[in-house]
A and B are shown apart, each in its own frame.
Chain A
Amino acid sequence: NAGVTQTPKFQVLKTGQSMTLQCAQDMNHNSMYWYRQDPGMGLRLIYYSASEGTTDKGEVPNGYNVSRLNKREFSLRLESAAPSQTSVYFCASSETVFGAAGDTQYFGPGTRLTVL
């Protein structure tokens, strides 16, 4: 049981380049999330998808777009990368949106992105 998988694990981009971070879960969860983690800060929500076919902005959505491709997959796209987007990105999933009624989020291993 793979849980939540993310690709790639590491990526280096130049300013202005674009890329897509991929995430997939095999737990049949309805909700999926993208977070970023920066030094000295907690995980901050970028975008989330409460269910297949819906996406919503989180706390720090600027500079990102997302696609909920199907129930399993939720991708994060940087159209024009900036050094401020250097971070570790985590994808997560849960049965119910944001773990309502005691549900919890399961996280992927992360993608370490550096933008030069």
Chain B
Amino acid sequence: DQQVKQNSPSLSVQEGRISILNCDYTNSMFDYFLWYKKYPAEGPTFLISISSIKDKNEDGRFTVFLNKSAKHLSLHIVPSQPGDSAVYFCAASAASGTYKYIFGTGTRLKVLA
């Protein structure tokens, strides 16, 4: 059973517009969430994270929103740039237990110039 789900395998957005990537989780024990970005032939790189004590975290053009009651988080990229074209993975972990990260299946974002 997939505990972390990214239901949109791909997303296309015009340059300058907002990109919204979504992630749903089922385990209510998850309390720390991350987004990773992956370019082809490279490893994932950390983008932004959020703790369950917050509902929003911003870093430049990237904002992550967390809705604990809905078990949903989203990554907003504003404005989107062609260099943002990549696969984005969300991941979740639980402070209780072993902290193992559970990754979603990824969303491929294409930003059109």
* CB-contact partner of B41 in A41, A99, A105, A109, under 8 A: A109
Whether, in the assembled complex, A66 has its beta carbon less than 8 Å from a beta carbon of chain B, the answer is no
Contact mask A102-115 → B, CB, 8 Å, 1/0?
10111111100000
Interface string of A82-116 (1 = CB under 8 A from B): 00000000101000011110101111111000000
What is the total number of residues of chain A having a CB less than 8 Å from a CB of chain B?
24
Number of B interface residues, CB 8 Å?
27
Q: What is the count of residue pairs linking A and B with beta-carbon distances less than 8 angstroms?
A: 61
Contact of A105 among B51, B98, B101 (CB under 8 A): B101
B43 touches A100 (CB 8 A): no
Q: Are A43 and B44 in contact (CB under 8 A)?
A: yes
Question: How far, in Å, is B24 (CB) from chain A's closest CB?
Answer: 13
A interface secondary structure, majority:
mixed
- A104 CA to B99 CA, complexed, in Å: 12
The reply on B49 being an interface residue by CB < 8 A is yes
On whether A42 and B42 interact (CB within 8 A), knowing A98-B101, A99-B101, A100-B99, the answer reads: no
Do residues A42 and B104 form an inter-chain contact, with CB atoms below 8 A?
A: yes
Interface set of B (CB-CB < 8 Å, partner A):
2, 4, 9, 32, 34, 36, 41-46, 49, 51, 89, 91, 93, 95, 98-106
